[in-house]
Amino acid sequence: GENVEQHPSTLSVQEGDSAVIKCTYSDSASNYFPWYKQELGKRPQLIIDIRSNVGEKKDQRIAVTLNKTAKHFSLHITETQPEDSAVYFCAASEGFSSGSARQLTFGSGTQLTVLP
Amino acid sequence: EPEVTQTPSHQVTQMGQEVILRCVPISNHLYFYWYRQILGQKVEFLVSFYNNEISEKSEIFDDQFSVERPDGSNFTLKIRSTKLEDSAMYFCASSMDSRTEAFFGQGTRLTVV
């Protein structure tokens, strides 16, 4: 089955700096890679996702890059703000091209702290 | 904005008791999922459900677990005989189809004592 590794486990940055979180996956059949933000005690919320037919996607201060050859994908947050502080999870799935309900395999999470 | 809703938000149960966790997926969604998150750990897949049957299940989803869609709106997870290690946050999720994002509910914190 799929295995997703995520680094670092904790990340502290100064407000305004950039943050980068990296994930690797093992199953070359995976074709959908979402990133979730989870604030303490709350539900995971999708912040950005990327499908295997593109290499990069950007949404305001958040971007994700995908390298299918190396099987890794990264989340980039620019101009970080204190409200970006949360746990970020990457995930992988091969559900995009199938008609069945495919699981998300999550990374272990990164606790991001943005220091004011 | 439509949301996945889960009840109860917190359930405390004695070891060996049965629990049923309830979820109301977003109304036009067809794919349903249960995940769990043990405190401080990653979110783990339990089971997915489509067209009134299980699509996939993980090793965690053993004979003690079952899912049901008893009517057109609810999606339930039953644990027949709870163990201490079942204590976790259980998240329900739904998606419109297999190609779109999964929306998560706010979770049910299950504590087995």
User: pLDDT (tens digit, 9 = 90+) per residue, B1-40?
Assistant: 789 999 999 999 999 999 999 999 999 899 999 999 998 8
Q: Is B75 on the interface with A (CB under 8 A)?
A: no
What is the structure's pLDDT at B26? 94
Q: How far is CA A65 from CA A47, B8, B26, B35, in A?
A: 14, 38, 30, 26
- Asked whether the beta carbons of residue B104 and residue A105 sit closer than 8 angstroms, the reply is no
Looking up tokens 């999870």 gives: A89
Does position A22 have pLDDT exceeding 60, yes or no?
Answer: yes
The predicted pLDDT at position B38 comes to: 94
Give the pLDDT confidence score for residue B103 in this predicted structure.
92
Q: How confident is the model at residue B107 (pLDDT cuts 50, 70, 90)?
A: very high
A18: enclosing H helix or E strand: none
- pLDDT at position A96 is 55
State the best of B24, B38, B60, B98 to mutate against chain A, taking most chain A CBs within 10 Å: B98
Cβ atoms within 10 Å of A60's Cβ, excluding its own: 9
Give me the long-range contacts of B93-96 (CB less than 8 A, separation at least 24): B93/B4, B93/B32, B93/B33, B93/B34, B93/B35, B94/B4, B94/B23, B94/B25, B94/B26, B94/B29, B94/B31, B94/B32, B94/B33, B95/A101, B95/B29, B95/B30, B95/B31, B95/B33, B96/B26, B96/B28, B96/B29, B96/B30, B96/B31
| Residue B19: per-residue pLDDT | 98
Which pLDDT does position A97 carry in this prediction? 52
CA gap A44, B102 in Å, rounded: 10
Contact assignment for A100 to B42 by CB distance below 8 Å? no
Reply yes or no on whether the pLDDT at A13 is more than 60: yes
CB contact under 8 A, B33 and A46: no
Instruction: Name every residue in A having a CB less than 8 A away from some CB of B.
Output: 32, 34, 36, 42-46, 49, 89, 91, 95-109
Per-residue pLDDT, B97: 81
- As a whole number of Å, the CA-based R_g of chain B is 13
Specify the pLDDT at position A101.
Answer: 62
pLDDT in tens, B50-104: 888 998 899 999 999 999 998 878 999 999 999 999 999 999 999 988 777 889 9
Nearest to A111 by CA among A34, A13, A1, A3: A13
For residue A108, give the H/E element and its range: none
Q: What per-residue confidence (pLDDT) applies to B92? A: 97
Interval A68-105: pLDDT, tens: 999 999 999 999 999 999 999 999 988 655 556 678 99
**Which pLDDT value is given to residue A52?**
84
Mean pLDDT of A51-60: 91
Task: Give me the pLDDT at residue B62, please.
Answer: 94
Pairing of strands B88-95, A45-51: unpaired
B70 preceded by a cis bond (ω within 30 of 0): no
Asked if B9 is an interface residue toward chain A (Cβ–Cβ < 8 A), one would say no
**Beta carbons of B33 and A101 less than 8 Å apart:** yes
